[in-house]
Amino acid sequence: MAKNSTTAQFIERRERLLGPKLDLFYDDPVHIVRGEGVWLFDADGRRYLDCYNNVPHVGHAHPKVVEAIASQAATLNTHTRYLHDGILDYVERLTATFGDRLSTALLTCTGSEANDVALRMGEAVTGRRGIIATDATYHGNTTAVSQLSSTRPPIGGYTGQVRHVPAPDSYRPLGGESGDAFAAAFTREVEQAIEHLQGTEFGFSTLILCPYFANEGFPDLPGGFLDGSVAAVRKAGGLIIADEVQPGFGRLGSHFWGHERAGFEPDIVTLGKPMGNGHPVGGVVTSSDIMAAFRNAFGYFNTFGGNPVSCAAAMATLEVLQEENLMQNAYDVGGYARERLDQLAGKHDMIGDVRGAGFFFGIELVTDRKNKTPAPDATARVVDSMRENGILMGRTGLNRQVLKIRPPMPFSRDNVDQLMSVLDESLSSLA
């Protein structure tokens, strides 16, 4: 679609001030000026149903979170080198949501920083530096963490410190259709990566993964899928980092944390995105012995991490999540959404696969079901057509062929009905 002159001027100004190659959603970008609950409003007052944003976890501009931020900002904001209850009260409440062993936390401002710290915890404990990640992941943008992504290699190439294993794809499972064979094939890849790293100067330190494989296209995995990999890591004396930046804080409906749903206990958990409902808060949760090894090896201070305003935002977010039973809402309404998507799959041949849980689900589009040929162009067209019709969603997956639906947690059945009816029309118009 041709962009109007205001949008073109906006884009020119962005590029001039911020530089080129900045991601911008939609062929016809949206100029958002306000958010409320599950709704976003553009500069012309048009309302969009937000089916994409997981950061405003308990809803855009939730009054309780806004009030907590404002009142703490009006009282005190400083760093963590003074005694203050805010961080202690929050960490106490946060760690109560984990198994007994994960009892300490360190607060950061982003998920990237959290993962960076987690990798250094692995180094402090094991004395080694080799890392395993999937070949379709994203864990952030620091120099160290960006090396975990295989899409944008560092200048001069990879150092050999990171070994990538093929991301699990439940629609085209490595090893075959049986769940056991699929899991065994992934385990074998992890075992080989461990062995490879053990033969290098780096040795093997940590396996880092999102327990929901969110950036890999959130495959539907059989129960116990990661058991073999976890056992292989433990046998080699390595640590497991669960990056909960996307699946955490109840988003998956059935469990508060993605690793609980996947059925393993990590050594280190990293947090970000939804933690402060949009206020920049991230964190690393681990055992007291791992935290002590890290502090002893590296110390750590983060000027903004854990400040009283961030802790007030994070505390209010957690309280609202629990008071408003939003995890249960994700379970109930997310389950209903999946049923509705399954019905759509019966009607539209373009839908190759329906997958996901809670409020993190979507569909993979294909050009033909038999060969499961990815349809990234059609996926882009659906996303744009939905935007034209007042619904904001995104796409992901190896070929960006998966429609990603990941709304704020107060999403309702009525919201699902609206989403599905517009999606039905969009798919019909493209067929």
Any contact of residue 133 with ligand PMP (CB under 6 A)?
no
Using CB under 6 A, count the residues that bind ligand PMP. 16
Contact pick of 60, 62, 120, 139 for ligand PMP (by CB under 6 A): 139
CB of 195 to ligand PMP, least distance (A): 26
Contact pick of 138, 264, 331, 361 for ligand PMP (by CB under 6 A): 138
The contact pattern for ligand PMP, residues 98-117, with x = CB under 6 A and - = no contact, is ------------xxx--x--
Nearer to ligand PMP, 215 or 426 (CB): 215
Taking residue 213's Cβ as centre, other Cβ atoms within 10 Å add up to 23
**SS3 helix, strand, coil % of the chain, rounded to 5?**
40, 15, 40
Contact pick of 216, 243, 353, 364 for ligand PMP (by CB under 6 A): 243
Any contact of residue 140 with ligand PMP (CB under 6 A)?
yes
CB of 119 to ligand PMP, least distance (A): 12
* Structure token digits, residue 200: 């290098």
Q: Where are the beta strands (DSSP E) in 39-183?
A: 39-42, 47-50, 104-108, 131-134, 162-165
CB of 104 to ligand PMP, least distance (A): 20
Using DSSP, state whether 345 is helix, strand or coil.
Answer: helix
Q: Which helix (H) or strand (E) holds 270?
A: strand 268-271
Nearer to ligand PMP, 149 or 170 (CB): 149
Task: Give CA–CA dist 418/431, Å, rounded.
Answer: 20
Nearer to ligand PMP, 183 or 214 (CB): 214
CB of 50 to ligand PMP, least distance (A): 17
Any contact of residue 268 with ligand PMP (CB under 6 A)?
no
Q: Are 240 and 206 in contact (CB under 8 A)?
A: yes
CB of 108 to ligand PMP, least distance (A): 9
402-421 binders of ligand PMP (CB under 6 A): none
277-296 binders of ligand PMP (CB under 6 A): 282
* Structure token digits, residue 392: 């904001």
Any contact of residue 272 with ligand PMP (CB under 6 A)?
yes
**Window of 18-26, 43-51, 209-217, 348-356 that interacts with ligand PMP by CB under 6 A:** 209-217
Q: Which residues of 180-200 are buried (b: 16+ CB within 10 A; e: fewer)?
A: eebbbbbbbbbbebbeebeee
CB of 75 to ligand PMP, least distance (A): 26
Task: Give CA–CA dist 107/92, Å, rounded.
Answer: 13
**Window of 14-22, 133-141, 328-336, 342-350 that interacts with ligand PMP by CB under 6 A:** 133-141
| Nearest alpha carbon to residue 209 among 192, 184, 187 | 187
Taking residue 335's Cβ as centre, other Cβ atoms within 10 Å add up to 15
CA atoms within 13 A on the CB side of 46: 13
Any contact of residue 80 with ligand PMP (CB under 6 A)?
no
CB of 349 to ligand PMP, least distance (A): 31
CB of 214 to ligand PMP, least distance (A): 6
Q: Which helix (H) or strand (E) holds 353?
A: strand 351-357
* Structure token digits, residue 81: 């080198």
* Structure token digits, residue 199: 């033969």
CA torsion sign for 265, 270, 276, 277 is negative
Contact pick of 94, 165, 167, 245 for ligand PMP (by CB under 6 A): 245
Q: Are 213 and 171 in contact (CB under 8 A)?
A: no
Contacts of 325 (CB under 8 A, 6+ apart): none
Please give the C-alpha separations between residue 138 and each of 157, 162, 227, 355, in angstroms, as whole numbers.
17, 13, 22, 20
Nearer to ligand PMP, 116 or 189 (CB): 116
Task: Give CA–CA dist 240/233, Å, rounded.
Answer: 7
Any contact of residue 210 with ligand PMP (CB under 6 A)?
yes
**Window of 40-48, 159-167, 239-247, 350-358 that interacts with ligand PMP by CB under 6 A:** 239-247
Any contact of residue 246 with ligand PMP (CB under 6 A)?
yes
Q: Taking every pair of C-alpha atoms in the chain, what is the biggest distance, in angstroms?
A: 63
CB of 278 to ligand PMP, least distance (A): 11
CB of 359 to ligand PMP, least distance (A): 15
Nearer to ligand PMP, 203 or 266 (CB): 266
Residues of this chain that bind ligand PMP (CB under 6 A):
110-112, 115, 138-141, 210, 214-215, 243, 245-246, 272, 282
